Amino acid sequence: MKTRCPYCGHQNRTGVLVCERCDLSLNSEMMNQVTTRKLDDIPHRSRRNTSVSVMSLPPEQRPVIVYIAHHELPMAIDRDGIKLIGRQDDSNGVQVDIDLTPYQAQEHGVSRRHLLLDCSAHPPTATDVSSVGTFINGMRLAPNQAYMLRSGDELRLGNLPLRIYLD
Share of the chain above pLDDT 70, in %: 73
Confidence of residue 42 (pLDDT cuts 50, 70, 90): very low
Distance from C-alpha of 41 to C-alpha of 38, rounded to nearest angstrom: 5
Neighbours of 155 (CB within 10 A): 21
The secondary structure of 70-121 as a DSSP string is T-SS-EEE-SSSEEEEE--BGGGTB--SEE-GGGTTTTTT--SEEEEEETTS
pLDDT at 33: 41
**pLDDT tens per residue, range 92-130:** 888 999 999 999 999 999 999 999 999 999 899 999 998
At residue 72's C-alpha, the angle toward residues 139 and 6, to 5°, is 30
What is the rounded average pLDDT of the residues 4-23?
Answer: 73
pLDDT at 30: 41
pLDDT of residue 50: 37
Class in CATH terms, 59-165: mainly beta
Which carries the bigger pLDDT value, residue 29 or residue 92?
92
Determine the 3-state secondary structure of 4 from DSSP: strand
Q: Looking at the chain, how many residues does it have?
A: 167
Question: Each residue of 55-101: pLDDT tens digit?
Answer: 566 766 789 999 998 888 899 999 999 999 999 888 888 899 999 99
* Bridge partners (DSSP) listed for residue 5: none
- Cβ neighbourhood burial of 82 (10 Å; 0-12, 13-18, 19+): middle
Residue 127 confidence (pLDDT): 97
pLDDT band at 10 (very low <50, low <70, confident <90, very high): confident
| Residues 10, 21 contacting (CB under 8 angstroms) | yes
The number of angstroms, rounded, from the C-alpha of 108 to the middle of its chain's C-alpha atoms is 13
